Chain A
Amino acid sequence: GAGVSQSPSNKVTEKGKDVELRCDPISGHTALYWYRQSLGQGLEFLIYFQGNSAPDKSGLPSDRFSAERTGGSVSTLTIQRTQQEDSAVYLCASSFERRTNEQFFGPGTRLTVL
């Protein structure tokens, strides 16, 4: 499809396990963003990738969170030793480099940590 895709759509895991969330941005978009949306809250910025530049990781809540972007396209958000407070919807967005105000969002991955 032409939009941002994310997988899995839902993930249920046990506390302490690691999870990987995947994002496929829109073809041609060099900027990629991860956000976290907790129940009843707005979106919280996590990390930003732009081309081959060093990512902005300033929004990652702890060192259990990490993200990679391989080949300037697909990105993986990894959460190690998951905690119940990590339960949220994780949204990925992409944009053209100079159109960061026009971010296109994927459907999100709903993570539930039991």
Chain B
Amino acid sequence: DAGVTQSPTHLIKTRGQQVTLRCSPKSGHDTVSWYQQALGQGPQFIFQYYEEEERQRGNFPDRFSGHQFPNYSSELNVNALLLGDSALYLCASSLASGGMTDTQYFGPGTRLTVL
């Protein structure tokens, strides 16, 4: 049973560049959420995708955008990178029909460094 996978593992970019992070959900899951975790902090919710649409969004600027594909995999795009975007980006998958007990399972994360 394949878990949540993310690529790449590490990424180094410079200010102003654009980046795309990728996520494949756990087998059988149809929902993907993205979180940003700054050093020493808890993860912060960016947005969630279900049925190829953004279902809920956290307090992040429009520079952060996403996409979900028919196979449920997802991408996170960040434009015009700032130094403050340096963080661990975590993808989590879940089952939309799970209700209140719906558990989000996380991938290993992508560590983004902006220089």
Query: Do A and B truly interact?
Result: no
